[in-house]
Structure 1
Amino acid sequence: MGGMPARRPATPFTPLDFQLVLLRRMADHQPGLVEDARRTLGVSVADMREANRRWQAMLHAPRQRSAAARYRSVLGAPVSEEDRRIGDLGCRALRWPVPLWPTLRFEVVAGGNGAVWHEWLVRAPDAAGAAPGTLEDLAPWSCTVEEVARAFAPARPLEGTAPTRWGLAFTAPDAAGVRRDCAAEFTWGLLQRVAVRGAAPAG
């Protein structure tokens, strides 16, 4: 008897696909770097769009699993897990390697119910962290949120323009030693660009 053809099983969403999701969010700020990374991975623009479409479908699917469980299903077992406390609340930090950035890890901080509080790129514990000293050291993709905040403390958080974006306001010296008021933008916790607002008041 004839009938509808058997439905092919969906292709698994892989760690490579997840890297494409990270890149897709960074393309608005750094299209050139994203293009280079895409070529390194050997994928097309269409592949990147499709990975992002599937990721969004996973995020909005009915009966979706917890966000932490979703990351485990896509990325496998984390390379490290640790319990933390943020104020009076307990949470768990999970980290996975990201081949595009060997010295970074993708970190998910989740509450006891599996809900994700933070999800971003951080420096791997065994890697030398970035230690910028001047504005000229703040090249795109060179620093994480934590590294810029630490180098130019006290930094003030700025509201991001999307859920995966963060901002920091801080004062930093340029190569000539003039202190400048700056605003840095991050996507998935990785530095994308810095806007210089002008010389900081003396004192």
Structure 2
Amino acid sequence: MRDDESVPTGKQSPFTQLDFQLVLLRRMADHNPGPVEDARRRLGVSLADMREANRRWQAMVRSPRSRPALSRYRSVLGEPESRTPRRIGDLDCEAWRWPVPLWPDLRFEVLTAAGGAVWNEWLVRAPGAEPPALHTVEDLTPWSCTVDEATRAFAPARPLEGSAPTRWGLAFTAPDASGVRREVVAEFTWGLLQRTEVSGPRP
């Protein structure tokens, strides 16, 4: 069987945690096809499998009969590993987190308000996992850090509007290996760094 082929089945299988990981990878493939290809092969799935998982996910999200986002995540990923109360400004919410086998040091986090409304969905560092050492531009390699880690390491960082609902951007200054401060625009998908554009030096 060719790598881009999958075996057709008469009955559609349940949407699983593996399928959800393929959805995450599909969005990242626009920026980082190389790492995504490596990850896809580690998971033992074809290109067709990844496309089909994304098609099914989009169909679920856009269906007029779609269940609420939090219920959808719970159905696909099971019960969360943790549920933590959190206060953001004047708003109370709860952070639900699930493990993501493809990235053992990360968790998929959903911030939800009272009534189950979802405010945010992205990857964050797992509790107790060693955070990346972010000191220079050279440390900002694909998949090396999350939005909040880059924000803290290179404060003050200015949020930028992403090109899609699952994408975020940050603008900040950071030193290069020689100590020269550079202007940096970092792009994230599902909260994980995908690429940076570096210019400068800063005036």
Whether TM-score is above 0.5 comes out as: yes
Paired residues for 1:126-137 under 5 Å: 126-137=128-139
Deviation at 1:10, TM superposition (A): 3.3
Deviation at 1:9, TM superposition (A): 5.2
From 170, 173, 184, the counterpart of 1:171? 173
Partner residue in 1 for 2:194: 192
One-letter amino acid matched to 1:114: G
Partner residue in 2 for 1:99: 101
TM-score (norm 2): 0.93
Q: Deviations over 1:99-128 (max 9, x none)?
A: 110000000001112121110000001101
CA distance in 1 between counterparts of 2:138 and 2:118 reads 34
- 3-state SS of the aligned residue for 1:199? coil
Partner residue in 2 for 1:61: 63
Partner residue in 2 for 1:46: 48
Partner residue in 1 for 2:115: 113
CA distance in 1 between counterparts of 2:47 and 2:135 reads 36
Partner residue in 2 for 1:4: none
Instruction: Work out the number of aligned pairs and report it.
Output: 194
Which ranges of 4 or more aligned residues in structure 1 deviate by more than 6 Å? none
One-letter amino acid matched to 2:74: R
Residue identity over aligned pairs, in percent, reads 73
User: Is 83-92 or 17-26 further displaced after alignment?
Assistant: 83-92
CA distance in 2 between counterparts of 1:9 and 1:72 reads 22
One-letter amino acid matched to 1:121: L
Larger radius of gyration: 1
CA RMSD between the two structures = 0.9
CA distance in 2 between counterparts of 1:174 and 1:87 reads 34
Partner residue in 2 for 1:181: 183
Partner residue in 2 for 1:151: 153
TM-score (norm 1): 0.93
